[in-house]
Structure 1
Amino acid sequence: MDWYPLKLTTNVQKYTFGERLIPERLGKRGLPSGIIAETWEVSDYKDKTGTVVNGYLAGRTLHELTLAHPNELVGRGWYGPYFPLLSKFIDASHMLPVHLHADDETARNLHNEPNGKTEAWHILWAAPGATILAGLKSEFTREQLFEAFTACDYDSVLVRHSIQAGDTVYVPAGIIHSFGPDTLVFEIQQTSNLAQSVMPTDLYGNKYNQPEWYANINAALDELKNHNQPRPHGGLRLESGANFRVFGCAGTYFALERWILNEPYLELSHPRRCVILSNVSSVVHLEFAAGIERLEQGESCILPAAIGEVQIVPDGQTNLIACYIPDLQQDIIEPLQAAGYNLQQIQTLGKVNSI
């Protein structure tokens, strides 16, 4: 089979925290009118699995292809119930709910799902003064947290950080968080949609009655972890000719890089892993053994593991976000150490341990 960059249908979420940043500031085309809070770019989550829209595999779902061709699509030796990564653009014109996601153990034991949701945010645009909330300030009793959440006094217990475009925030499962307003984000995560919110309203602005709200807070407190205080990170930069790779985060589940391309860039063959590419700037052309694919601003695709080498040719300077499941030693530690970064610096990217 001749593999090529796979473009998928976009799943749109119209939650109340969104507005029109994704089409108007990012420049993504083909979206409906009205509020657009999220576009799920690459997804194999239940009924939100994407369908291929280009090439001879058009009409096949990502789920079908993952099950039929796991080695060629996801990576040599990989197996699992669905495509392991989910990527999205998020419009936080208004503040997101304060919430958290189950870790793998909780997902299996409490929700009967195979994995939880560790995620990372790459900030594409943030107005002056934009912030995130992520992690608890210190140790609090359950009663203190319950009181803060019922009073909607989130700053009394959560850490707030300023953010700017180019920052990445690695958020382990179980860590309570929010971001916005006035923020546009690319998110990479495990394939999951498990979440517990402590807010008095749902994602569509509907108000919970008090017993429902309090039950939600208690469910979140049952799953809350306090082992990590995520911080915005400007990334670790590698230079190659006129091009730059900025490593934004890395961990067991995924790595995120921002590629700033001023000239053609060769992405080498990686039979053990695929790559999700999202274009957040001007048009690029992807040249591969079987042909050429154009990737527009705001578009995403999957470079299958079996595609071989891909030459990425920008029309002027462009910015791409690349996400993949890394071999931490080979993909992260070794190239960054070769560039002069020490292990302590590399570990600030997320969950990176020397092997």
Structure 2
Amino acid sequence: MIKLEPLKMNPIMRDYLWGGRKLSERLGKTIEEGQTAAESWEIVDRDDAQSVVADGPWKGQTLRQLIAEQKREMLGDCDSNSHFPLLLKYLDCQRVLSVQVHPTDEYGLKMPQPDLGKTEAWYIVDAEPDSVIYAGLKEGVDRLMLAEAIQDQQTEKVLHEIRPNAGDCIFIPAGTVHALGAGLLVAEIQQASDTTFRLYDWNRVGADGKPRPLHIEQALAVTNYDSGPVYPVSPKDVADGWQQLVDCDKFQLLKASECGSYPIPSADRFVILSVPCGKALLRWAGGTRSLEVGDSVLVPAAVTDVEVVIEEPHSTVLRMHGPADTPCLA
């Protein structure tokens, strides 16, 4: 059998009412002339969305097929029961997104159509002046106060606001009320879930001219009222020059943004790499691959001696994988 190597997938483009052209202009994604796109799903394994290998010996195979055929080689010690546990996407936010919240795994698995909960993290690739992120509730806001604000169509008054800068990282655990504002280009790593409860949509209508559905009771039920405001994370220097942005029970997110060589420790687990800015070179035992801006690759667990080399200033590489010490169940 041919040895596995880092896998580039064809992005899955999705458009919503807040999309634009930046995924093409800044990240090289293919968007037809005159069209817009809101999201580029880079790596995903869901029943309704399957990443397909773009090139190489496995061109045309889906991520799920590869895991079914070579689970240990693909995932290592990640105990994934059914599918790949993470989803990586880029978002072009030309209008503010709906105010929403995601459930925990426990709640999600009890729904009529069971799904994972959703913990996520955003890396801000670009932020226009005065862009806003709503992240968490203001101090002291409880369920009754949130419900009243929704009823009065003044939800934003109880939300904590952040004025983000490029390079910021915002961690959004399940149960955190949030919304991305207009003028943001974002990389998002999350659990492989599409479970969203929308509690406010700025009184606008969808493409069909009708208001989009709200899920207020579910949203009120799953919101964590004790977590309070959310702020950008403080990067932590870790081994081999990497900076750790998020270390939670669902995933780890790290970045490298200076010229140099960045080894990726062999830990019998898959790694996702993505380049939101600049370019890099990926090396492993048996090969190399250039990573251009907007490129994302999945490095199977069986691939060894992996390192990222940054030679151009103003380049950033994001590194994502399952949690350090616990199985990444999916």
* Equivalent of 2:211 in 199, 208, 212: 208
Look up the match of 1:299: 295
Task: Please say if residues 70 and 76 of structure 1, whose CA atoms lie closer than 8 Å, have aligned partners that are also in contact.
Answer: no
1:5 equivalent in alignment to 2:6: yes
TM-score, normalising length: structure 1: 0.83
Look up the match of 2:256: 259
Task: Please say if residues 70 and 78 of structure 1, whose CA atoms lie closer than 8 Å, have aligned partners that are also in contact.
Answer: no
Q: Which runs of 5+ in 1 are unaligned?
A: 330-355
Task: Please say if residues 249 and 323 of structure 2, whose CA atoms lie closer than 8 Å, have aligned partners that are also in contact.
Answer: yes
Tell me the distance in 2 between the aligned counterparts of 1:197 and 1:120.
18
Look up the match of 2:321: 324
Tell me the distance in 2 between the aligned counterparts of 1:304 and 1:267.
12
Write the mapping of 1:126-275 to structure 2, written as runs, cut at 5 A.
Answer: 126-140=127-141, 142-198=143-199, 199=201, 200-201=203-204, 204=207, 206-208=209-211, 213=214, 216-229=215-228, 230-238=230-238, 244-271=241-268, 273-275=269-271
Deviation readout 1:256-295 (Å, 9 max, x if unpaired): 1111241333323221x11110012233232222322222
Task: Please say if residues 49 and 62 of structure 1, whose CA atoms lie closer than 8 Å, have aligned partners that are also in contact.
Answer: yes
Tell me the distance in 2 between the aligned counterparts of 1:62 and 1:307.
16
Tell me the distance in 2 between the aligned counterparts of 1:264 and 1:85.
26
The alpha carbon displacement at 1:157 in A equals 1.3
- Shift of the 264–289 alpha-carbon distance from structure 1 to 2, 3 Å rule, reads same
* Counterpart amino acid of residue 257 in structure 1: L
* Counterpart amino acid of residue 221 in structure 2: D
- Shift of the 192–156 alpha-carbon distance from structure 1 to 2, 3 Å rule, reads same
Look up the match of 2:124: 123
* Counterpart amino acid of residue 226 in structure 1: Y
1:277 equivalent in alignment to 2:273: yes
Tell me the distance in 2 between the aligned counterparts of 1:285 and 1:247.
20
Look up the match of 2:282: 286
- Shift of the 146–4 alpha-carbon distance from structure 1 to 2, 3 Å rule, reads same
RMSD: 2.3
| Structure showing the higher helix proportion among its residues | 1
- Shift of the 131–226 alpha-carbon distance from structure 1 to 2, 3 Å rule, reads same
Q: Which runs of 5+ in 2 are unaligned?
A: none
Look up the match of 1:70: 71
Task: Please say if residues 50 and 64 of structure 2, whose CA atoms lie closer than 8 Å, have aligned partners that are also in contact.
Answer: yes
- Shift of the 309–250 alpha-carbon distance from structure 1 to 2, 3 Å rule, reads same
Tell me the distance in 1 between the aligned counterparts of 2:292 and 2:92.
19
Task: Please say if residues 107 and 113 of structure 1, whose CA atoms lie closer than 8 Å, have aligned partners that are also in contact.
Answer: yes
Task: Please say if residues 275 and 322 of structure 1, whose CA atoms lie closer than 8 Å, have aligned partners that are also in contact.
Answer: yes
The alpha carbon displacement at 1:50 in A equals 0.4
The alpha carbon displacement at 1:313 in A equals 3.1
- Shift of the 78–219 alpha-carbon distance from structure 1 to 2, 3 Å rule, reads closer
The alpha carbon displacement at 1:300 in A equals 0.3
1:19 equivalent in alignment to 2:20: yes
Tell me the distance in 2 between the aligned counterparts of 1:109 and 1:160.
32
Task: Please say if residues 282 and 315 of structure 1, whose CA atoms lie closer than 8 Å, have aligned partners that are also in contact.
Answer: no
- Shift of the 206–300 alpha-carbon distance from structure 1 to 2, 3 Å rule, reads farther
The alpha carbon displacement at 1:175 in A equals 1.3
- Shift of the 324–205 alpha-carbon distance from structure 1 to 2, 3 Å rule, reads farther
Tell me the distance in 1 between the aligned counterparts of 2:54 and 2:273.
16
User: How high is the sequence identity, in percent, across the aligned residues?
Assistant: 29
